[in-house]
Amino acid sequence: MLDDLKMIHDRDKEDALGVTEKQWQQLGHQFDAEVPNFQDIRNVVFAGMGGSAWPALYVKSWPGVNVPLEVVSNYELPPYVDEHTLFISSSYSGNTEETLAALAEAEQRGAQIVVISAGGKLVDIAHEKGFPLYTIPGGIQPRMSSFYFITAMVQLFEPLGLVTAGSTAELAAAGDWLKDQIGEWRPDVPTARNAAKQLAQELMGRSLVFYSGPKLFPVANKWKICSNENAKNVAWVNQFPEYDHNEFIGWSSHPVDKPYGIVEIRSNLENERIQKRFEISERLLSGLRPAPHIVVPQGETQLQQIIWTSNFADFVSLYLALLNGLDPSPVGLVEKLKEELNK
């Protein structure tokens, strides 16, 4: 079915697969924003929802930020936000109500403010009040623009001394590397040779669960969200070692033939104890849960493994949408929710 290019073209009306194939280009995008002359930054608060929030988790994992960084997906800010806080207001649409509310509070607190957005009210506010603005190119779904957000953050953080020098160049180089890795997942590559199509077929008709270690957890979280939004598929996510302290036991009862598809992202860069936990947990749960589908991230560095697995996850979730008989791009129920909230 997934080798029927006409079916793919008919269902994927906004060419989400084509956008995904070109995501590597986002990692080398040059923003024309002027880097602010902020002083005495003691913490970073990143306010965003969904696809406009998880890029901060990526940057927190790689390259890492040398001051505390907290992601706020809420209307309200933590009490410590003040003039020593770098506050980043992030929304692809620019109209996310939680993010706008957090921005207003950050301004009242005297935080040092930056805006990352593709348009809407957030861009208008940035222009009106002179906030530094990193403009994301528009025309795609927010969840397909996460690499733009990562690139904007790194280009902001590096001159401010918040990440390792050279991170921007490393990110662009990783994008060029990724370009050469993803050819085997394209729609014109038959299922027999296409790992993304194969995994989508294995996961079809199941509720999905994604597990990883801490270094790759931002990717596991993204895969969960893209499964929700692209494939319209219920999914959950957790990470080791927390998994072994509670959720691990949850698999040990109820019917053995549970209707779940389990994906484990096993990186060789995780702590060796994490790697051992994956192996032992799988052995102890043998026969008590569906056998996991193991994804081994490719790449020598953490950054390469993160972007490789992210792109693979996107392809899998898009093929799963097509198998579900759906156009992956629209999220009509979310728009309906917003309409109801605005009544």
Task: Please tell me the distance from the alpha carbon of residue 163 to that of residue 64, in angstroms, as a whole number.
Answer: 6
Beta strand 112-117 with 85-91: parallel, antiparallel or unpaired? parallel
Listed by start position, the domains of the chain span 5-10+187-323, 31-177
Options 21, 170, 229, 270, the catalytic residue: 229
Catalytic residue among 129, 254, 336, 338: 338
Can you give the pTM of this predicted structure? 0.95
Q: What is the predicted pLDDT for the residue at 331?
A: 87
| Equal fold, 5-10+187-323 vs 31-177 | yes
DSSP secondary structure code for residue 69 in this structure: E
Q: Which DSSP helix (H) or strand (E) runs through 319?
A: helix 302-323
- 61 vs 301: CA distance, rounded Å: 12
Smallest CA-to-CA distance from 230 within 11, 9, 71, 1 is with 11
* pLDDT of the residue at 266: 98
Residue 288 φ then ψ, to 5°: -105, -15
Query: In terms of Cα–Cα distance, which of 185, 140, 148 is closest to 318?
Result: 185
Answer whether CATH 3.40.50.10490 is correct for domain 5-10+187-323. Answer: yes
| Catalytic site includes residue 245 | yes
Which residues, 6 or more positions from 13, have their beta carbon under 8 angstroms from its beta carbon? 327, 329
- The yes-or-no answer on residue 300 being catalytic is no
To which H or E segment does residue 335 belong?
A: helix 332-341
Catalytic residue among 6, 34, 128, 245: 245
Distance between CA atoms of 88 and 338, rounded to whole angstroms?
23
- Residues 129-180 pLDDT 10s: 999 999 999 999 889 999 999 999 999 999 999 999 999 999 999 999 999 9
Task: For domain 31-177, give the fold.
Answer: Rossmann fold (3.40.50)
Per-residue pLDDT of the chain (343 residues; tens, 9 = 90+): 999 999 999 999 999 999 999 999 999 999 999 889 999 999 999 999 988 898 999 999 999 999 999 999 999 999 999 999 999 999 999 999 999 999 999 999 999 999 999 999 999 999 999 999 999 999 998 899 999 999 999 999 999 999 999 999 999 999 999 999 999 999 999 999 999 999 999 999 999 999 999 999 999 999 999 999 999 999 999 999 999 999 999 999 887 788 999 999 999 999 999 999 999 999 999 999 999 999 999 999 999 999 999 999 999 999 999 999 999 998 888 888 888 888 7
Residue 100's pLDDT is what?
97
Please tell me the distance from the alpha carbon of residue 4 to that of residue 6, in angstroms, as a whole number: 6
